[in-house]
Amino acid sequence: MELRQLRYFLAVAERLHFARAAESLHISQPTLSQQIRALEEELGVQLFQRNKRHVALTADGEALLAYARQLVALADDVREEFAERSGLRRGRVRLGATPTLGSHLVPRVIGGFFKMYPGLELTLCQDGSDGLVRQLEQGGLDLALLAEGQEAQGIAFEPLLEEEIVVVLGPEHPLAGRASVRMEELREEGFILCGEGYRLRSLTLAACESAGFTPRTAVSGTDIHTALQFVQAGLGVTLAPRLAVEGVAGVAVARIEAPALKRTVGIAWNPQRYLSQAATAMRDYLMGVLRRGSGGIG
């Protein structure tokens, strides 16, 4: 069994399409099919159910998937470790972040890191906190910036800063123009809620429950940027980090009072997996910068 075959297997398993997998690997589809058949023959199992219209993992394919991810990730770690021995002139860091942090915070603070290590590469993955934790567990990410409360057992989490959560309303809303509102004043509103797996969704539901009501859902399943567009269209209100609404036109923003609503953001990693020198350097850099308040979050 060759590492190359496992990479080919993962490409097909992730896309469930041989042609697209072959294109991503820059090989021909017949070559890919031949290597998958060779892997199946060596293991003595069928890994995929396939016909002209459909590709799916078999039970044996599902069993191989976790092992293949770990083996390929370990092989990548070995390559990166030896490349980085010459003073971090080469290497890659896989950083996960929630959409707000990935689009607003990371670009603000990461420039100094690449001035110190210009030869390193950043791969950024934006997802909800649940998805980021799963990728840390599976070895798909080195580090993740996420909200406290979503970290899983076995995942290390270091708190870094607090984000203020505000209510976002349409510009014509009766509460627009107020500097602050109480959660109970939103009892009759329709809420725009992020999808399952986003910490902001569970935080919103908990805040409403603490105020004595269950929110009426107007739209569910969005990310924060799409939620703001629904608010602009007058379809409801949403709770969002203040960072996410900076510079956004067509909405009104008010603080939440009695009590103010905040969440703690930190950096997470999997201590059971090897953390490369590049990832360690980025973790230490982000800890230093964000603890000093350079992220500009109140």
- Per the structure, the count of domains in the chain is 3
Same domain, 130 and 268: yes
213 vs 217: CA distance, rounded Å: 12
Same domain, 127 and 167: no
Same domain, 8 and 60: yes
Same domain, 18 and 38: yes
| pLDDT of 189 higher than 90 | yes
Whether 26 maps to a domain, the answer reads yes
127 vs 25: CA distance, rounded Å: 24
Task: Share the mean pLDDT of the chain.
Answer: 89
pLDDT above 90 covers a percentage of the chain that reads: 65
Q: Are 263 and 69 in contact (CB under 8 A)?
A: no
Q: Where among 59, 82, 105 does a domain terminate?
A: 82
Confidence of residue 84 (pLDDT cuts 50, 70, 90): low
Q: Are 48 and 61 in contact (CB under 8 A)?
A: yes
Q: Please indicate whether residue 296 or residue 24 has the higher confidence score (pLDDT).
A: 24
Q: Where among 82, 106, 133 does a domain terminate?
A: 82
Same domain, 114 and 174: no
State the pLDDT at residue 222.
Answer: 87
Handedness of CA 147, 121, 67, 270 (dihedral sign): negative
Whether 298 maps to a domain, the answer reads no
- Residues spanned by the domain of 230: 162-263
**CATH number of the domain bearing residue 120:** 3.40.190.10
What value does the mean pLDDT take over residues 97-101?
A: 90
Pairing status of strand 190-194 against strand 216-222: parallel
State the pLDDT at residue 85.
Answer: 60
Same domain, 175 and 234: yes
For the stretch 171-186, pLDDT in tens is 999 999 999 999 999 9
Q: What is the pTM of this model?
A: 0.66
Same domain, 193 and 205: yes
Confidence of residue 151 (pLDDT cuts 50, 70, 90): low
